[in-house]
Structure 1
Amino acid sequence: MPSTTPVLIGVLALQGDVREHLAALRAFPGVRAVAVRRPEELAAVDAIVLPGGESTTMSRLLVTFDLLEPVTERIAGGMPAYGSCAGMILLADEVLDGRPDQRQIGGLDVVVRRNAFGRQVDSFETDLDVEGVGDGPVRAVFIRAPWVEKVGADVEVLATVPALTAAGRDAGEAAGRVVAVRRGGVLATAFHPELTGDLRVHGLFCRMVREAVAGRR
């Protein structure tokens, strides 16, 4: 598939790491990246990124801005989506330890545990081997991150936490936990590639979007 196939990717711009995702996506030829805050902006894009942030706040804002149902319907209809950290939580079909007022977009047949890695002070980095991303390990930043407790039969596991962190510390209960998954055109990571300057996860998503767009033409 030619890398210059033009695609328009939206970044949900209600809260979270919006600018970082926009900058990462705009580094790729043939990709336009725009902020999405209104239903008419969502209707124009080929794909959506749900950034890291605070999942409960984002779910409330999705309702306030009349975006929850449109985003849910478009992803259910086949629009590619990528969620990092809070975005993974929003894409999960089921969330453990979520707030009673939290709303889900869904699209990923997974069970996710919210804030599984602990509080802000428990944030850490490690190197991950991510399926579909070449040229060595990906440096993963975990900030109040979720992990995946259970995956459905059609969900592909792309990465798990190694036994040791990048600092050589024992990963403890986190070792072996699933932190990157894909189901068709829906991709999710518990970590924040938008914060590291490593564009390979975004590159994987851009390839997924191009394939989806080409398949519709």
Structure 2
Amino acid sequence: MKFFRATLVANSYLYFYSTEFLKTTTVNKVLHNWALMFALNDIKADPEKRHLENLKNVNFYCTPAIPKKVDSQSFLLNPVPEDTGAGKLGIMRIEKFIPGSEFEFIVMSKNDKEPTEIISYGKKKSHHTVKYNELKIKSEYKEKIHIRTKQFINPLDFKRIKNIQYAKKYPMKPSPLYMVEADFYDVFVLSKIKNFQQIFPANFPYLEEAK
């Protein structure tokens, strides 16, 4: 088992879930780890299955990706239908991250292989580059550990989370991400990554627990 620090470099505009307020649509500042896993493992999703079912038996597990060096650009669409149903036309402003933006995340490779450097990301399968640096840090298995995460995690990826003492939600689709202080079960722990511990589910996905 190997771990890699990965940097996604956008070769074109990223297409992924966004939030909308009034007539402004803004891309999320975090890339969902399920979307990254679909890309790294080259999975074509079956729409009849849940995301975790589609991700069964993957080799590469990854954390959500956070902005490393990003810049955005706004586009004005005119005209677009208003939501009132009155037949009027309005305008909409869309904010996207521009090509060259970088996002950082950690990849766990179960078979020690390095993931591909070119991925097709998101529903529109836009191509982007991913750079990897192997982390020379040994992981430690923990049947149970109490930890406060310093970066967002996907709770649905883990076997069990109990005794929650702190939770900060980052709402996004298809599932919200959290920073959490709690007891985590059946995990691998990496220490000394930017002075904090990073946890990974040891036997992802836990399909029964996620129901």
TM-score normalised by length of structure 2: 0.27
Q: Which has the higher helix share?
A: 1
Q: Which has the higher contact order (CA 8 A, sep 6+)?
A: 2
Q: Which has the higher strand share?
A: 2
TM-score normalised by length of structure 1: 0.26
